[in-house]
């Protein structure tokens, strides 16, 4: 059954990796998907092709988060496209997935510029996306923030990144209270290591080591996270708000 038939979903950072897996899953569930990305036109087009191949509908939105006017630009494009395709400039699901990630930097070497870029994209942009999105989100809507298990797993080389994820989790707590009277739920999903197609996942020895961190002894796949997001986006999750969902394959079990 198409649980999201008639719904419109925005997935930020949906050209690649986890965002692409979320966008394709929500498309299969029947949502019209706004595939947002920063610069990789070809990858975004590939996400659209995957959704359409499954019988779904989607459109792209290009906006580099962390630059002036990006959130405004994103919502203008979103509302225009939604109106054209559905007759209404309305939105049902926001997935704050876009993020800056890296293999890590020793804490002694993190620069102010790196820190600012991480914070701008991973924490500040999701806040202003939710703030702006409130005008467009229908009652009964969903906000899903992609955090990281690193808010509960010490990894010094990822301290600045983990700080931005701790911040994004706060959106779920406070906006869950703020939006409950509109039956809008706001939750965080925290993956552990997920194969996002980047170079490190082509190195079998690195993958073998990363896999040991999960209780299931494998690295995550985008769909492992996308299936959790799809549940939170669905009507079945109406009674879950302000939650932190560990989607790390048991990495936090220790
Ligand atoms: P990824 O493969 O690096 O893809 C990042 C996506 O975000 C791309 O679509 C990229 O667009 C977009 N993006 C990056 N910077 C942007 C900006 N300034 N403005 C707009 N879009 C931007 O990422 P991922 O590994 O799938 O991670 C997705 C989310 O999951 C992130 O929030 C990350 O922190 C979180 N997460 C990842 C892992 C992991 O192991 N992979 C684990 C836990 C949590 P372009 O293609 O145009 O560059
Ligand atoms: O180490 C992680 C980790 C990582 C990486 O491996 C590098 C990558 C894929 O470029 C970005 C990244 C994002 C992450 O959120 C994590 C992560 O969540 C993680 C890592 C190592 C041990 C535990 C983790 O979460 C519980």
Q: Where are the domains of the chain?
A: 8-245
Grade residue 245 by pLDDT with cuts at 50, 70 and 90: very high
Question: Ligand 1 in contact with 73 (CB < 6 A)?
Answer: no
**Average pLDDT score, the chain:** 98
Residues 168 and 148: their CA atoms lie apart, in Å, by: 10
Per annotation, catalytic residue among 37, 59, 161, 175: 161
Distances in whole angstroms, Cα of residue 164 to Cα of each of 63, 121, 145: 20, 9, 12
Residue nearest to atom 39 of ligand 1 (CA): 194
CA–CA–CA angle 135, 245, 242 (5° rounding): 40
Question: Ligand 1 in contact with 27 (CB < 6 A)?
Answer: no
Grade residue 13 by pLDDT with cuts at 50, 70 and 90: very high
Does the pLDDT value for residue 1 go beyond 90? Answer: no
- The CATH number assigned to the domain with range 8-245 reads 3.40.50.720
Number of H helices, E strands in the chain: 8, 7
Q: 41 C-alpha vs ligand 2 centroid, how far in Å?
A: 26
Residues 229 and 218: their CA atoms lie apart, in Å, by: 20
Centroid of chain to Cα 115: 20
To the query of whether residue 161 is one of the catalytic residues in this protein, the response is yes
Position 146 scores a pLDDT of 99
Question: Ligand 1 in contact with 158 (CB < 6 A)?
Answer: no
pLDDT digits (tens, 9 = 90+) for 80-135: 999 999 999 999 999 999 999 999 999 999 999 999 999 999 999 999 999 999 99
Q: What is the position in ligand 1's atom list of the atom closest to the CA of 70?
A: 19
Ligand at minimal distance from the CA of 162 is 2
Question: Ligand 2 in contact with 193 (CB < 6 A)?
Answer: yes
The whole model's pTM is what? 0.99
Position 143 scores a pLDDT of 99
Question: Ligand 1 in contact with 40 (CB < 6 A)?
Answer: yes
């Amino acid at each position: 059954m198409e649980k999201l038939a008639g719904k419109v979903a925005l997935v930020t950072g949906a050209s690649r990796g986890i965002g692409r897996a979320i966008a394709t899953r929500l498309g299969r569930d029947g949502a019209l998907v706004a595939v947002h990305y920063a610069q990789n036109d070809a990858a975004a087009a590939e996400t659209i092709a995957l959704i359409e191949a499954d019988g779904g509908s989607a459109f792209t939105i290009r906006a580099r988060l962390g630059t002036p006017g990006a959130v405004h630009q994103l919502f203008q494009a979103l509302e225009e496209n939604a109106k054209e395709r559905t007759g209404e400039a309305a939105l049902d699901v926001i997935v704050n997935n876009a993020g800056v990630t890296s293999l890590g930097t020793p804490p002694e070497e993190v620069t102010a510029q790196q820190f600012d870029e991480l914070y701008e994209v991973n924490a500040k942009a999701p806040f202003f996306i939710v703030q702006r999105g409130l005008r467009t989100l229908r009652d009964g809507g969903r906000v899903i923030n992609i955090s990281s298990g690193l808010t509960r797993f010490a990894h010094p080389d990822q301290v600045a990144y983990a700080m931005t994820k701790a911040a994004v989790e706060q959106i779920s707590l406070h906006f869950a209270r703020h939006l409950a009277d509109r039956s809008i739920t706001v939750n965080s999903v925290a993956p552990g290591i997920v194969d996002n197609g980047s170079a490190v996942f082509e190195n079998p020895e690195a993958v073998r080591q990363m896999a040991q961190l999960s209780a299931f002894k494998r690295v995550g796949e985008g769909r492992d996270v996308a299936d959790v997001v799809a549940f939170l986006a669905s009507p079945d999750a109406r009674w879950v708000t302000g939650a932190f969902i560990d989607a790390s394959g048991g990495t936090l079990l220790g």
